C-alpha cells in the first residue's frame, strides 16, 4: 500500500509570495497544495513544517476525509486562517495524488462536469472615470463576459482596488501601505462611475463592484439602493461580516445582490449568512477554507438555500489553488462565478498549469490530478519578500474599522 513518504514546503516570491506544499508517496506520486495566506505566509509555512508534516509521514494518502478530520480535530485548536490554510494545502495535495493514481482529472472524481466552462470576471480599474471606461473596454475585448469596476475616489490619496501596474496586486512593501479613506466621497462617486460604465457599454455583460468591507450596514444599504438601476451582478463585501445580522438590514433596503466570504475559513463562519439567506454568493476559497473537501461542504450547504458560489481568486492564490478551484467550480451544481486575475510572468516560470481561458470562461486540465506542476529549482530564483495588504485610515487619522 502506498504511504506518504515526504512532505516539503516551499516559500518563494515569483512576482508575489506563494507557499506551496508538495507531498510525495512511496510510489513516487506527487501532489501539490497551495498554502498562501497573504501577509502571514511564514506562519502557515511553519505550521506545516513544524506541526503537520511530522504527522503525515507513513499515512495512507488515499484517506482524504480521514486525514482532514485528523488534522482538524486532532490539533484541539480549531479553525482560524492559519490552521485552515495549512489543512487546505494538505487536502488539495491529496486530491491531486488521488487523481494521478486514478488516472483522472480531479473534477471527474467530484462527479464530473456540471457545465462546459467556468464563468470568470476580472478587474477593470482607473484613476478616473475615463481611464476606468478604457479598462472595461479592454477586458470586454479580451473576451470577458463579467467585469469588476473600481475607480479612485477624487482627492482621496489611494483607493484600494485600483490597479497600479500590469496586474492588480494590492500587497506591496515591507510595511503596510496606509491609505486614506473618505466614506462620503466614495458614496457620492462610486454610483456615478458604475452608471457611466452601463451608459457606455450597456447591459450585455455582468458588472460587479467591491466595497472592501468599508461601509456600515446602513451605508451599504444606501449604496445598494443607489446602484439598483446598474443591475450589478453583486456588490462584494459591503460591510464587515463578523456581525452577520447586519446583512439583514441591508436586505431590507436593496435588491442589489450581495457577495461575501473571502476572509472566512469554515462552514461555521458562513452558516448563518447562508441559512438565513442574507447573501447571494459565498466567496470562500479552496486555499483559505480547508481545501476541496471542506469547500465542497460549504457549497453543498449554500445550494440548499439558493446561494451560489463566487470564490475569491486574487493573485495571492497560486496557480495550484486556481486549478483546484476550477475543478470544483465545474462540478458543483450551484456555481455562480469565479474571480480570475491571472498571475505575473515570474509565476509562470515556477508553475505550469493546464487551466485555459476562452470565451470568458476557464477550463480545467484533463490531465490526471489538478494538472499543475511546480519547478522548485526555478522558485529558488525568487527568494521570499515580505509584503502586506494596505491599511485604511479615515481622514482624521484613525484606523478604519472595516
> Given the DSSP bridges, would you call strands 18-25 and 30-34 parallel, antiparallel or unpaired?
antiparallel
Among 49, 71, 105, the domain boundary falls at: 105
Among 71, 105, 139, the domain boundary falls at: 105
DSSP state of 229: G
Below-50 pLDDT ranges, the chain = none
Question: What SS3 class is residue 242?
Answer: coil
**Are 32 and 140 contained in the same domain?**
no
Q: Provide, for the chain, the percentages of residues in helix, strand and coil under a 3-state DSSP scheme, each rounded to the nearest 5.
A: 35, 20, 45
Cell of 130: 475615463
| Residue for grid cell 483546484 | 324
**Are 331 and 273 contained in the same domain?**
yes
**Are 74 and 124 contained in the same domain?**
no
**Are 276 and 346 contained in the same domain?**
yes
**Are 58 and 78 contained in the same domain?**
yes
Helices (H), 276-315: 291-304
CATH number for the domain including 221?
Answer: 3.20.20.120
276 is in which domain, residue-wise?
Answer: 109-368
Residue from 139, 160, 168, 374 carrying the catalytic annotation: 160
Query: Is 312 among the catalytic positions?
Result: no
Cell of 68: 482532514
| Number of domains, the chain | 2
Does residue 300 lie within any of the structural domains?
yes
Does residue 225 lie within any of the structural domains?
yes
Measured between alpha carbons, how far is 291 from 307 in angstroms, rounded to an integer?
20
Does residue 400 lie within any of the structural domains?
no
**Are 158 and 14 contained in the same domain?**
no
CA–CA distance from 90 to each of 14, 70, 76, 269, 364 (Å)? 22, 12, 18, 21, 20
Helix (H) or strand (E) holding 257: none
Residue from 212, 294, 327, 340 carrying the catalytic annotation: 212
Does residue 389 lie within any of the structural domains?
no
Rg (CA), the chain: 21
Does residue 383 lie within any of the structural domains?
no
Cell of 375: 519547478
pLDDT of the residue at 166? 66
Does residue 140 lie within any of the structural domains?
yes
Measured between alpha carbons, how far is 326 from 49 in angstroms, rounded to an integer?
27
**Are 349 and 334 contained in the same domain?**
yes
Question: CA nearest 94: which of 143, 59, 118, 129?
Answer: 59
Among 105, 130, 148, the domain boundary falls at: 105
What burial letters (b/e) apply to 227-245, b meaning 16+ CB within 10 Å? beebebbbbbbbbbbeebe
**Are 233 and 299 contained in the same domain?**
yes
pLDDT of the residue at 402? 53
Does residue 131 lie within any of the structural domains?
yes
**Are 70 and 173 contained in the same domain?**
no
Query: Is 160 among the catalytic positions?
Result: yes
CATH number for the domain including 83?
Answer: 3.30.390.10
**Are 58 and 190 contained in the same domain?**
no
Does residue 18 lie within any of the structural domains?
yes
**Are 333 and 254 contained in the same domain?**
yes
pLDDT of the residue at 399? 81
**Are 185 and 83 contained in the same domain?**
no
Amino acid at each position: 500500500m502506498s504511504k506518504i513518504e515526504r512532505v516539503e514546503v516551499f516559500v518563494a516570491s515569483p512576482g508575489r509570495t506563494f507557499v506551496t506544499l508538495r507531498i510525495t508517496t512511496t510510489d513516487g506520486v506527487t501532489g501539490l497544495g497551495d498554502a498562501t495566506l497573504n501577509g502571514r505566509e511564514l506562519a502557515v509555512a511553519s505550521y506545516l513544517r513544524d506541526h503537520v508534516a511530522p504527522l503525515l509521514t507513513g499515512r495512507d494518502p488515499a484517506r482524504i476525509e480521514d486525514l482532514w478530520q485528523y488534522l482538524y480535530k486532532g490539533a484541539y485548536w480549531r479553525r482560524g486562517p492559519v490552521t485552515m490554510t495549512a489543512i487546505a494545502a494538505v487536502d488539495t495535495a491529496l486530491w491531486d495524488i488521488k487523481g494521478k493514481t486514478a488516472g483522472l482529472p480531479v473534477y471527474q472524481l467530484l462527479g464530473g462536469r456540471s457545465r462546459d466552462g467556468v464563468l470568470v470576471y476580472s478587474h477593470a480599474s482607473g484613476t478616473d472615470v475615463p481611464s476606468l471606461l478604457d479598462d472595461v473596454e479592454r477586458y470586454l475585448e479580451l473576451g470577458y463576459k463579467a467585469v469588476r469596476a473600481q475607480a479612485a475616489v477624487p482627492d482621496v490619496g489611494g483607493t484600494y482596488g485600483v490597479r497600479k501596474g500590469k496586474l492588480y496586486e494590492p500587497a506591496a512593501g515591507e510595511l503596510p501601505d496606509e491609505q486614506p479613506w473618505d466614506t462620503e466621497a466614495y458614496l457620492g462617486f462610486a454610483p456615478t462611475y458604475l452608471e457611466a460604465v452601463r451608459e457606455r457599454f450597456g447591459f450585455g455583460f455582468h458588472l460587479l463592484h467591491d466595497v472592501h468591507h468599508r461601509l456600515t450596514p446602513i451605508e451599504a444599504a444606501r449604496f445598494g439602493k443607489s446602484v439598483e438601476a446598474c443591475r450589478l451582478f453583486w456588490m462584494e463585501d459591503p460591510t464587515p461580516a463578523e456581525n452577520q445580522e447586519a446583512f439583514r438590514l441591508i436586505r431590507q433596503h436593496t435588491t442589489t445582490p450581495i457577495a461575501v466570504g473571502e476572509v472566512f475559513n469554515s462552514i461555521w463562519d458562513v452558516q448563518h449568512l447562508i441559512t438565513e439567506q442574507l447573501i447571494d454568493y459565498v466567496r470562500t476559497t479552496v486555499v483559505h477554507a480547508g481545501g476541496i473537501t471542506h469547500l465542497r461542504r460549504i457549497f453543498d450547504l449554500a445550494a440548499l438555500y439558493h446561494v451560489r458560489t463566487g470564490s475569491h481568486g486574487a493573485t495571492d492564490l497560486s496557480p495550484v489553488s486556481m486549478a483546484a478551484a476550477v475543478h470544483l467550480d465545474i462540478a458543483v451544481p450551484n456555481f455562480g462565478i469565479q474571480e480570475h486575475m491571472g498571475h505575473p510572468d515570474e509565476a509562470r516560470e515556477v508553475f505550469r498549469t493546464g487551466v485555459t481561458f476562452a470565451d470568458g470562461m476557464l477550463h480545467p486540465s484533463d490531465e490526471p490530478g489538478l494538472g499543475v506542476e511546480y519547478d522548485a529549482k526555478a522558485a529558488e530564483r525568487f527568494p521570499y519578500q515580505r509584503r502586506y495588504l494596505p491599511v485604511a485610515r479615515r481622514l482624521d487619522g484613525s484606523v478604519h474599522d472595516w
